[in-house]
Amino acid sequence: MTRSLPPFLLLGAALLAGSAALADDPAGLKRYELPNQDTLEMPLPAGWKDEVEQPDGGGPPTIVMSIRPDGPRQVFITPEWPDPTGKDVRELAQLRDAIRDAAERVKPEAVESYLEVRQLNGTNGVGFYFAATDRDPGPGEFKFMNQGALQVGTLTLWFTILANDGEDTVAVEALSMLQAATHRRTGLDQL
């Protein structure tokens, strides 16, 4: 199954390798410095490899993860932060509608006739996601996809999780990682 992302993320399709994660915690906690100078922290599952890709021209980076050091990219997380002059965090109804729209775009390729949008409760926010099975995955494509967005503080984490048969724990581990994510604001984007 190919990734389907919100339109603003499609601009980042030609990503280049960029920022690296900050110092890591021995317990697997990864810290990512964001272009707005805030930090995103998530517990990276054991054995997973991560890298940060920054699109040309700036904008939100994408954190890309493989479940094995030599494996394909299977987890994509793009943190979106609000305008520093704005006062509102994205409303949950808007977030749910965006995920529902993404599910509708994927549905023609999915085995499922109905893609349920489920609520995802994190330690620091709420989000939504859906799961789909590709009807006819091509060579090098994945059979299973979970896609959604989760509010973490004032960040919105847009994510796609891909897996094949025999990789039953990928989605569980990735969703758990997202649910434990923390956004550390510095306020430096307002100076």
Split at pLDDT 50, 70, 90, the class of 21 is very low
Model pLDDT, residue 91: 84
- Residue 1 in any domain: the answer is no
Task: Please count the structural domains in the chain.
Answer: 1
Query: Residue 109 belongs to a domain with what CATH number?
Result: 3.40.1000.10
Split at pLDDT 50, 70, 90, the class of 15 is very low
- Residue 187 in any domain: the answer is no
Average pLDDT over residues 120-127: 94
- Residue 188 in any domain: the answer is no
- Residue 190 in any domain: the answer is no
For the entire predicted model, the pTM comes to: 0.83
- Residue 140 in any domain: the answer is yes
Label each residue of the chain as H, E or C. Answer: CCCCCCHHHHHHHCEEECCCCCCCCCCCEEEEECCCCCEEEEECCCCCEEEEEEECCCCCCEEEEECCCCCCEEEEEEEECCCCCCCCCCCHHHHHHHHHHHHHHHHHHECCCCCCCEEEEECCEEEEEEEEEECCCCCCCCCEEEEEEEEECCEEEEEEEEECCCCCHHHHHHHHHHHCCEEECCCHHHC
Is residue 7's pLDDT more than 90?
no
Domain that includes residue 69, residue range: 7-182
